[in-house]
Amino acid sequence: MQKPANYYSMLRSDVLPLIPAAARRILSLGCGEAATEYKFRNSHSCHVTGLELNAEAAAKAQDRIDVVHVGPLTKTLSLIEDQKFDVILALDVLEHLADPWTILQRCSKLLSDDGVVIASIPNINHASIRNRLQIDIFPYEPAGILDFTHLRFFTLTEIYKLFVSASLKIISTNTFQSRTDSIQYLVKANKPASISAKPLSTIIIPTLNNLALTKNCLRSIRENTKAAHRIIVVDNGSTDGTRAWLKSQPDILHILNISNLGFAPAVNQGVFCADTPSVVILNNDTLVSPNWLTNMLAHFNADPTRGIVGPMSNFVSGPQFIKEANVNSLEAVNHFADSLLSEQKGNSQEVQRLVFFCALIKKEVFDRIGNLDEHFVIGNFEDDDFCRRAALAGYKCAMAMDTFVYHHGHATFKANNIDLNYLLQKNKEVYLKKWGSPN
Q: What is the rounded CA–CA span in Å between residue 276 and residue 267?
A: 15
Type of residue numbered 434: K
- In the chain, what percentage of residues exceed pLDDT 90? 78
pLDDT digits (tens, 9 = 90+) for 145-173: 999 999 999 999 999 999 999 999 999 99
**Position 338 pLDDT exceeds 90:** yes
Cβ–Cβ under 8 Å, residues 260 and 374:
no
Residue 100 has φ and ψ, to the nearest 5°, of -65, -25
Comparing CA positions, the residue from 199, 218, 198 lying closest to residue 210 is 218
Sequence-ordered list of residues with C-beta below 8 angstroms from that of 403, at least 6 positions apart, any chain: 289, 291, 292, 295, 296, 311, 312, 337, 340, 341
pLDDT digits (tens, 9 = 90+) for 97-156: 999 999 999 999 999 988 999 999 999 999 999 999 999 999 999 888 999 999 999 999
Q: Which domains does the chain have, with CATH numbers?
A: 23-190 (3.40.50.150), 201-435 (3.90.550.10)
Which residues in 391-415 are b (16+ Cβ under 10 Å) and which e? beeebbbbbbbbbbbbbbeebbbee
Type of residue numbered 187: V
CA triple 143-171-53, angle to 5 deg = 35
User: What is the band of 177 on the pLDDT scale with cuts at 50, 70, 90?
Assistant: very low
pLDDT of residue 89: 98
Residue 154 has φ and ψ, to the nearest 5°, of -135, 140
Q: Is the pTM of this model over 0.85?
A: yes
Helix count and strand count (H, E) for the chain: 15, 16
User: What is the band of 354 on the pLDDT scale with cuts at 50, 70, 90?
Assistant: very high
pLDDT of residue 182: 85
pLDDT digits (tens, 9 = 90+) for 216-252: 999 999 999 999 999 999 999 999 999 999 999 999 9
pLDDT digits (tens, 9 = 90+) for 44-65: 999 999 999 999 999 999 999 9
